[in-house]
């Protein structure tokens, strides 16, 4: 974990964002896999990690805004626990490592909360996303579980987002270490992408690389020759010549900072002319978007710039037609690029998404669109220094979407449906990097992962 003062300072900064009452952070609990004692591997809540740093189940943190104290609640192990888990530091010792002096057993938490409720004190909490936490909060606050979300503290949500969005050097270092592991995952996948190999053979190896270097993966590996399906977790296809393999995968550090990288490679190691043409368009959109990153620029503008590059490229290839600007304004590109350009990344791979995308990605200046395509953009507001974002444009040929648009003759002034028909067997391409917003623009984080046609082909041959 980071030095104790990192956590003390984070809590001190949070105090400045809030007015009065108690701030309650519940850590995650173990969650049963198929019977109570066989649990999913434990993942701590990211906001709890950020402010209290401790990484095991059954902990709660409280910041008392009125008297200036911080508290950790948790139970010390008894002899029965020690038989199974070995001796562990006491809660008191653990709390000191994150700069907290006050500790108490978990049962004291309900006493504190009950007392606060009786006195009518404000209790700030974040919206829960897990069943166990929902029930725990519901019991503590004596509030029906369906009412929790609407009672979550907007003041706290906004304060946590403000702090966690801006990464410090320690955090950036953690993220870069994990992009370097992703480098190994992706270059290994590239070398394995040969005809006859089953997707799961590669997916298993790269997940193993994540686990061997910290791990686990930061989200379930996406690895598919059917890259036109955006989040494809089926790994049973056999790779065949002529298909593109989309690999979207990253991992978590010991402290749970993420990486999230996508590369798309031709099975067998050599791009066909048709693959190369589409690939170059996506690459150009990726580079143009990265080049446009600047403090104060709304991410939505950068998203639309990537869309513009995609329309220009597809027009040059005869797949689209008409006025480029008008096509983007009307959303004609969303037939091929139906998702957003990227998202914040940090302790969560979609950082802070559990607190509500509307608070994370939008504000009074940039309002979320309801239109198909733009509505999927998770983040639209102005970029600030030391935001970490993904840049991940893509072009996909989704047969069902093409049929649906064609049947309605939708955007026919911008789309050459006859030509698009001939690409229904193509699949999809996405190229994703993780970038840091700096004073000078963007820095692509980590060890460069092969990205140009030449780099990818060279890596696949080696
Ligand atoms: Mn991503």
DSSP one-letter string for 255-275: T--B--EEEEEETTS---HHH
Q: Are residues 280 and 339 in the same domain?
A: yes
Across the chain, mean pLDDT equals 96
pLDDT above 90: percentage of residues in the chain: 92
Last residue of a domain, one of 165, 184, 199: 165
Does residue 450 have a cis peptide bond before it, meaning omega lies within 30 degrees of 0?
no
Q: Residue 2 has what pLDDT?
A: 98
- Residue finishing a domain among 147, 165, 183: 165
Which residue range forms the structural domain that includes residue 334?
A: 169-461
End-to-end CA distance of the chain: 38
Of 65, 67, 56, 42, the residue nearest 94 (C-alpha): 56
Q: Is pLDDT at 390 greater than 80 in this prediction?
A: yes
Q: How many domains does the chain have?
A: 2
What band does 376 get if pLDDT is binned at 50, 70 and 90?
confident
Residues 88 and 173 in one domain: no
Tell how far the Cα of 248 is from the centroid of ligand 1, in angstroms. Answer: 8
Instruction: Report the pLDDT averaged over residues 92-101.
Output: 98
Distance CA 369, CA 331 (A): 12
Q: What is the CATH number of the domain that holds 45?
A: 3.40.350.10
Q: Assess whether 173 and 159 both reside in one domain.
A: no
Q: How far is the CA of 250 from the centre of ligand 1 (A)?
A: 9
Res 414: pLDDT: 98
Whether the CB-CB separation of 261 and 390 falls below 8 Å is answered with no
Hey, what are 420's tokens? 């698009």
Q: In sequence order, what E strands does 86-176 have?
A: 102-104, 123-125
What angle, rounded to 10 degrees, do the helices at 299-316 and 273-292 form? 150
Q: Which residues fall inside 5 Å of ion ligand 1, going by CB?
A: 260, 390
Q: Are residues 414 and 315 in the same domain?
A: yes
Q: How many CA atoms lie within 13 A of 123 on its CB side?
A: 25
**In terms of DSSP bridges, do strands 388-391 and 222-224 run parallel, antiparallel, or are they unpaired?**
unpaired
Ligand 1 centroid to Cα of residue 309, in Å, is: 20
Distance between CA atoms of 382 and 292, rounded to whole angstroms?
A: 12
Do residues 74 and 49 share a domain?
A: yes
What average pLDDT does range 59-67 have in this prediction? 98
Instruction: Please state, in angstroms and rounded to a whole number, the distance separating the CA atoms of residues 140 and 56.
Output: 20
What count of residues does the chain have? 462
CATH number for position 292: 3.90.230.10
Q: Which residue carries 């998203």 as its tokens?
A: 303
Residues 174 and 116 occupy one common structural domain: no
Q: Ligand 1 centre from 159 Cα, in Å? A: 24
Instruction: Give the C-alpha distances (Å, rounded to integers) separating 170 from 166, 183, 255.
Output: 12, 20, 11
Residue 337 CA, ligand 1 centroid: distance in Å: 14
CA 390 to centroid of ligand 1, rounded, Å: 6
Percent of the chain whose pLDDT exceeds 70: 100
Find the 432 Cα to ligand 1 centroid distance in Å. 7
- Which one-letter DSSP state was computed for residue 24? E
Q: 165, 194, 215 — which closes off a domain? A: 165
DSSP state of 424: T
Distance in Å, CA 260 to ligand 1 centroid = 5
51 and 146 housed in the same domain: yes
230 confidence band (pLDDT: 50, 70, 90)? confident
**Sequential DSSP letters for 330-342:** HTGGGGT--S-S-
pLDDT value of position 417:
98
Question: What is the helix, strand, coil percentage profile of the chain, to 5?
Answer: 45, 15, 40
Output the six-digit token pair for 301: 């503008």
Separation of alpha carbons 314 and 319, rounded Å: 5
Maximum mean pLDDT: which of 76-85, 132-141, 208-217, 376-385: 132-141
The Å distance, Cα 318 to ligand 1 centre, comes to: 29
Going by C-alpha positions, the residue among 2, 19, 15, 120 that lies closest to residue 62 is 15
- Non-local CB neighbours of 107 within 8 Å, separated by 6+ positions: none
């Amino acid at each position: 974990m980071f030095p104790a003062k990192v956590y003390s300072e984070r809590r001190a900064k949070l105090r400045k964002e809030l007015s009065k009452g108690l701030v309650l952070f519940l850590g995650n609990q173990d969650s049963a896999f198929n019977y109570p004692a066989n649990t999913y591997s434990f993942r701590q809540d990211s906001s709890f990690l950020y402010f209290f740093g401790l990484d095991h189940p059954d902990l709660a943190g409280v910041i008392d805004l009125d008297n200036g104290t911080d508290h950790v609640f948790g139970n010390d192990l008894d002899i029965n626990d020690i038989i199974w888990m070995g001796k562990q530091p006491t809660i008191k010792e653990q709390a000191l490592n994150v700069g907290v002096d006050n500790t108490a057993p978990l049962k004291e938490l309900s006493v504190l909360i009950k007392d606060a409720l009786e006195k009518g004190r404000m209790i700030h909490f974040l919206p829960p996303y897990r069943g166990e936490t929902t029930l725990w909060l519901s019991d503590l606050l004596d509030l029906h579980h369906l009412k929790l979300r609407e009672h979550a503290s907007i003041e706290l949500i906004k304060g946590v987002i403000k702090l966690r969005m801006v990464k410090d050097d320690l955090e950036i270092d953690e993220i870069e270490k994990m992009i370097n592991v992703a480098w190994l995952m992706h270059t290994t996948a590239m070398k394995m992408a040969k005809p006859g190999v089953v997707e799961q053979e590669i997916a298993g190896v790269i997940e193993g690389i994540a686990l061997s270097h910290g791990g686990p993966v930061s989200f379930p590996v996406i690895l598919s020759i059917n890259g036109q399906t955006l989040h494809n977790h089926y790994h049973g296809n056999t790779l065949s010549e002529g298909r593109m393999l989309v690999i979207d995968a990253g991992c978590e550090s010991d402290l749970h900072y993420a990486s999230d990288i996508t590369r798309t490679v031709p099975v067998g190691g050599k791009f066909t002319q048709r693959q190369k043409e589409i690939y170059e368009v996506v690459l150009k959109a990726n580079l143009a978007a990265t080049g446009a990153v600047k403090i104060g620029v709304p991410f939505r503008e950068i998203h639309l710039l990537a869309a513009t590059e995609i329309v220009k490229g597809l027009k040059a290839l005869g797949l689209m037609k008409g006025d480029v600007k008008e096509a983007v304004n009307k959303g004609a590109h969303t037939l091929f690029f139906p998702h957003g350009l990227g998202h914040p990344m940090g302790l969560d791979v979609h950082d802070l998404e559990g607190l509500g995308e509307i608070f994370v990605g939008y504000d009074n200046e940039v309002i979320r669109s309801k239109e198909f395509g733009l509505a999927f953009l998770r983040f639209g507001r102005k970029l600030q220094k030391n935001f970490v974002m993904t840049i991940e444009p893509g072009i996909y040929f989704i047969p069902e979407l093409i049929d649906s648009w064609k049947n309605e003759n939708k955007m026919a002034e911008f789309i050459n449906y006859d030509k698009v028909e001939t690409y229904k067997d193509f699949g999809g391409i996405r190229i994703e990097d993780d970038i840091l917003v700096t004073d000078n623009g963007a820095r692509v984080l980590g060890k460069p992962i092969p990205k140009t046609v030449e780099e990818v082909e060279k890596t696949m041959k080696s």
